[in-house]
Amino acid sequence: MSDEKLNTKEVENLLKSEDLINGFPAATQDISVNIRNRQECIDVANYGPMNPLIGNDEYWQARADVYKTSIEEAKSSRCANCAAFIQTTDMKEAIAQGLGGEEEAYAVVEVANLGYCEIFDFKCAGLRTCDAWVLGGPITDVNISANKFEESQEIALNVINNINLIKGE
């Protein structure tokens, strides 16, 4: 290991990625952690749009420009089909428990198509997207396996490294 010290942001990122509350990712249990991590995704990777059920032409044009493609194709790349989007039964349970665990909480998870973003560590809505989108998801009970999960983590790390390169870090 080098003699360089980690800066505060790097330490926060390391802690954030490993924090658990009651055995669940902290962002699924603590709304302040979730909001902080989601804001990072908004700032770094343009998470959005705010309301995916309306036109948002400017947002989708910007996403299309990133990938040098059409708005129609950009709109097909959503969190719900991202390889870093976790929607296992356990993760949905964690999210519902963090919302209070009542029947309504489970309904919110289903209606909003919530999952967990492995890249930015927050509860994510399936209809949204970001610049870190990775083909091949979501991770569900059906497709999860040690190999698929490890592959998804490797892809996520590659995306994070690419984002850091873009940001000049």
Express as a percent the part of the chain with pLDDT over 70.
81
Give the per-residue pLDDT at 114.
98
Cα-Cα-Cα-Cα dihedral of 60, 61, 62, 63, to 10°?
50
What is residue 135's DSSP assignment? B
Instruction: Kindly indicate the confidence band of residue 72, based on its pLDDT and cuts at 50, 70 and 90.
Output: very high
**Average pLDDT, stretch 66-70?**
93
Measured CA to CA, the distance from residue 139 to residue 145 in angstroms comes to 9
**Average pLDDT, stretch 120-133?**
96
What is residue 1's DSSP assignment? -
pLDDT at 57 over 50: yes
Give the per-residue pLDDT at 11.
41
Instruction: Kindly indicate the confidence band of residue 22, based on its pLDDT and cuts at 50, 70 and 90.
Output: confident
What is residue 139's DSSP assignment? B
pLDDT at 149 over 90: no
Measured CA to CA, the distance from residue 119 to residue 159 in angstroms comes to 8
Give all strands (DSSP E) within the chain, no chain letters. Answer: 20-21, 24-25, 85-86, 114-117, 122-125
CB atoms within 10 A of CB 75: 16
Report in angstroms the alpha-carbon separations of 108 from 114, 120, 121, 123, 125: 8, 21, 19, 12, 11
Give the per-residue pLDDT at 20.
87
- Characterize 91-115 residue by residue with b for buried, 16 or more Cβ atoms within 10 angstroms of its Cβ, and e for exposed: bbbbbbbbbeeeeeebeebeeebbb
What is residue 7's DSSP assignment? P
Measured CA to CA, the distance from residue 108 to residue 123 in angstroms comes to 12
Region at 50 (left for phi over 0; alpha for psi -120 to 50; beta for the rest): alpha
Give the per-residue pLDDT at 55.
86
pLDDT at 4 over 50: no
Give the per-residue pLDDT at 163.
72
Give the per-residue pLDDT at 152.
65
